[in-house]
């Protein structure tokens, strides 16, 4: 039987190679292993082959050639997720690796739209728009040096710009999607790919239908995003707050007033972990970035000197630190937002601290992803949930209690956990717990971390029970947040979805899946659709 399977898979690889040409189809072991891991886990099997198309037509040809095989299809963008969405579930899986579809196709400053191939990174998009004083409203996750626009549209993403403009798909106008049988579908516009789409609310919003599908409905090949003028003024500010309740109060008031463009807060445990990551070398690089990014070189050097003097001590022993950016069309408008923000935090008992962290991030937003492991080479993975602003205090307290209960077990196994808080526009509060634990690193970590950083990084061995403890705690966070009707980004195969939908919605979702992917080959198991 195995011989028969091997012969069939070999014939399929041959057919794909002859349809797509050289350099598109690979059976190389190291690459197949790499695409079968995400930041959290390795799949139980390794993909049969990897296809790296260069454009929409090649992607469509690949999918058409694959139809007859009946095999499963996995879609990988930058691969920077940790919820299993692109991991193969059986050996006959073909992984579509979108990293070579990485071009910015057209910046239309007159229409205020930008078209990219789905494998374009947020960093590449940012660098193409910056010289033109243009930006997308949401402009990327922290992982944007590697993570792709298509990946964010597929599983939703937050951070830069999200506190004002909402998550990734709120900035997406239109998609070119290739379906499981190779059909090319336009979600907005006339269906003519030469005509640039500019409006997705012409009737039911089909762009929104494909956003957040985690690859279950089709493969995003091209993405059109809306543009805004880059803010004329922006300032970063940081605060320390004595406890979680005070920090959440401040974050909620800032969110309701719509004062921040991006915002994140974290507890002392995460602040300590962040401090350990800052080597002398990266500190120098950070300061150089700050110096280069000031409004004038004098301003840049002054900012860098201020940060250098404050050093790592700025966050201190306070329970929570809060970091945010106010941006706007004039310095006066930003000053007004900053004044209101300072008044809110002061009312919550907080004090202003050196703004090193958000300032360094603003100077170079898309950094190498050395933080896929802890500073000592430990494994790292987060888990999150989004709750209503009305439930934020209670949900944070419940998650904190969960870690207090596990403190002794965590200490015994070398597990550390910290909390990060953020907001999405004026309506959702994000709670993220990040774990580090002793464990063996994987090929995916080694592929992402800068070689000189990796060379200096210790390689801890597995600590018995530590990863099981983290897995249990991640599930407990999800269960706890479910009591507050939590929603999730990055659903993949990890977060509950179907169980949270009512039966008419489930029937509709199943009908949509059947219409788009009748043989259930696209990302089987993702969003809970049966294989």
Which three-class secondary structure state does DSSP give residue 353?
Answer: strand
Integer Cα distance of 253 and 259 in angstroms: 9
The one segment of 128-136, 151-159, 247-255, 345-353 that binds ligand FAD by CB under 6 A: 151-159
Does position 71 bind ligand FAD by CB under 6 A?
no
Q: Indicate whether 126 belongs to the interface with ligand FAD (CB under 6 A).
A: no
341 near ligand FAD, rule: CB under 6 A = no
What is the Cα–Cα distance from 188 to 205, expressed in whole angstroms?
A: 8
Residue 460 binds to ligand FAD (criterion: CB under 6 A): no
Among 31, 369, 470, 509, binds ligand FAD (CB under 6 A): 369
Is position 150 an interface residue for ligand FAD (rule: CB under 6 A)? yes
Q: Of the candidates 123, 164, 220, 367, which one interacts with ligand FAD according to CB under 6 A?
A: 220
Query: Tokens at residue 334, please?
Result: 């930003």
Of 140-148, 277-285, 456-464, 479-487, which segment contacts ligand FAD by CB under 6 A?
A: 140-148
Binding residue for ligand FAD, selected from 16, 116, 118, 413, defined by CB under 6 A: 118
As a whole number of Å, the end-to-end CA separation of the chain is: 22
- Residue 106 is inside which H or E element, if any? strand 104-108
Contact segment (CB under 6 A) with ligand FAD among 18-26, 214-222, 339-347, 505-513 equals 214-222
Residue 363 phi, psi (nearest 5):
-70, -35
Residue 77 within binding range of ligand FAD, rule CB under 6 A: yes
Which residue in the set 25, 372, 431, 527 belongs to the binding site for ligand FAD (CB under 6 A)?
372
Q: Measure Cα distances from 167 to 162, 438, 484 in Å.
A: 5, 32, 20
185 SS3 class: strand
Maximum C-alpha span of the chain: 73
Q: Is 175 helix (H, G, I), strand (E, B) or coil?
A: strand
Is the distance from CB of 9 to CB of 48 less than 8 angstroms? yes
CB 513 within 8 A of CB 529: yes
Minimum distance from residue 86 beta carbon to ligand FAD (Å): 4
157 binds ligand FAD (CB under 6 A): yes
Q: In the structure encoding, which two tokens stand for residue 486, read together?
A: 């939590």
H or E segment and range at residue 114: strand 113-117
d(CA 414, CA 412): 6
Interaction between residue 523 and ligand FAD (CB under 6 A): yes
**178: contact with ligand FAD by CB under 6 A:** no
79 binds ligand FAD (CB under 6 A): yes
Among 25, 40, 41, 86, binds ligand FAD (CB under 6 A): 86
| Residue among 129 and 175 whose Cβ is closer to ligand FAD | 175
- How many Cβ atoms from other residues are within 10 Å of residue 268's Cβ? 17
- In the complex, least distance from residue 16 CB atom to ligand FAD, rounded to whole angstroms: 19
Q: Could you tell me how many residues of this chain bind ligand FAD (CB under 6 A)?
A: 37
Closest to ligand FAD by CB, 183 or 313:
183
Nearer to ligand FAD, 155 or 207 (CB): 155
The answer to whether residues 226 and 211 touch, using CB atoms and an 8 Å cutoff, is no
Burial code (b: 16+ CB inside 10 Å, e: under 16) for 411-425 equals eebbbbbbbbbbbbb
Closer CB to ligand FAD, residue 226 or residue 367?
367
Residue 374 interacting with ligand FAD (CB under 6 A): no
The residue ranges that bind ligand FAD (CB under 6 A) are 39, 75-81, 85-86, 98, 118, 141-143, 147-148, 150-152, 154-155, 157-159, 214-215, 219-220, 369, 371-372, 489-490, 492, 523, 526
């Amino acid at each position: 039987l195995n011989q028969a399977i091997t012969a069939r898979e070999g014939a399929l690889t041959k057919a794909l190679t002859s349809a797509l040409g050289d350099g598109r189809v690979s059976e190389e072991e190291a690459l197949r292993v790499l695409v079968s891991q995400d930041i959290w886990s390795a799949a139980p099997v390794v993909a049969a082959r990897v296809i790296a198309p260069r454009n929409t037509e090649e992607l469509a040809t690949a999918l058409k050639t694959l139809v007859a095989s009946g095999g499963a299809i996995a879609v990988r963008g930058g691969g920077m997720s940790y919820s299993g969405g692109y991991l193969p579930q059986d050996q006959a899986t073909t992984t579509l690796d979108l990293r070579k579809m990485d071009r910015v196709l057209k910046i239309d400053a007159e229409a205020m739209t930008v078209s990219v191939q789905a494998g374009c990174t947020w960093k590449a998009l940012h660098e193409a728009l910056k010289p033109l004083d243009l930006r997308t409203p949401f402009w990327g996750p922290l992982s944007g040096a590697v993570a792709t626009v298509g990946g964010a549209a597929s599983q939703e993403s937050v951070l830069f710009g999200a506190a004002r403009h909402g998550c990734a798909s709120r900035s997406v106008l239109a998609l070119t999607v290739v379906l499981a049988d190779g059909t090319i579908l336009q979600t907005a516009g006339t269906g003519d790919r030469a005509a640039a789409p500019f409006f997705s609310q012409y009737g039911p919003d089909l762009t929104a239908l494909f956003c957040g599908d985690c690859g279950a409905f089709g493969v995003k090949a091209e993405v059109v995003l809306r543009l805004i003028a880059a803010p004329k003024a922006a300032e970063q500010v940081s605060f320390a707050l004595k406890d979680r309740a005070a920090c959440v109060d401040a974050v909620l008031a800032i969110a309701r007033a719509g004062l921040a463009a991006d915002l994140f807060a974290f507890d002392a445990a995460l602040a300590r972990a962040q401090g350990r990551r800052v080597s002398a070398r990266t500190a120098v690089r950070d300061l150089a970035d700050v110096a280069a990014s000031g409004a004038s070189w004098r301003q840049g050097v002054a900012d860098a000197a201020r940060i250098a003097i404050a050093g790592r001590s700025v966050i201190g022993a306070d329970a929570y630190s809060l970091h945010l950016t106010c941006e706007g069309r004039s310095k006066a408008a930003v000053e007004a937002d900053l004044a209101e923000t300072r008044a809110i935090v002061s009312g919550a008992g907080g004090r202003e601290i050196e703004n090193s962290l958000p300032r360094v991030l603003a100077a170079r937003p898309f950094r190498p992803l050395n933080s896929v492991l802890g500073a000592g080479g430990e494994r790292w993975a987060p888990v999150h949930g989004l709750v209503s602003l009305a439930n934020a205090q209670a949900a944070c307290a419940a998650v904190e209690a969960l870690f207090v209960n596990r403190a002794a077990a965590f200490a015994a196994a070398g597990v550390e956990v910290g909390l990060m808080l953020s907001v999405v526009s004026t309506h959702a509060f994000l709670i993220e717990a990040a774990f580090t634990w002793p464990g063996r690193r994987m090929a995916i970590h080694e592929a992402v971390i800068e070689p000189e950083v990796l060379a200096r990084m210790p390689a801890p061995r597995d600590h018995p029970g530590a990863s099981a403890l983290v897995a249990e705690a991640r599930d407990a966070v999800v269960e706890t947040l479910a009591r507050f009707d939590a929603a999730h980004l990055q659903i993949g195969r990890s977060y509950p979805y179907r169980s949270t939908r009512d039966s008419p919605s489930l029937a509709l979702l199943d009908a949509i899946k059947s219409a788009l992917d009748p043989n259930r080959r696209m990302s089987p198991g993702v969003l809970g659709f049966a294989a």
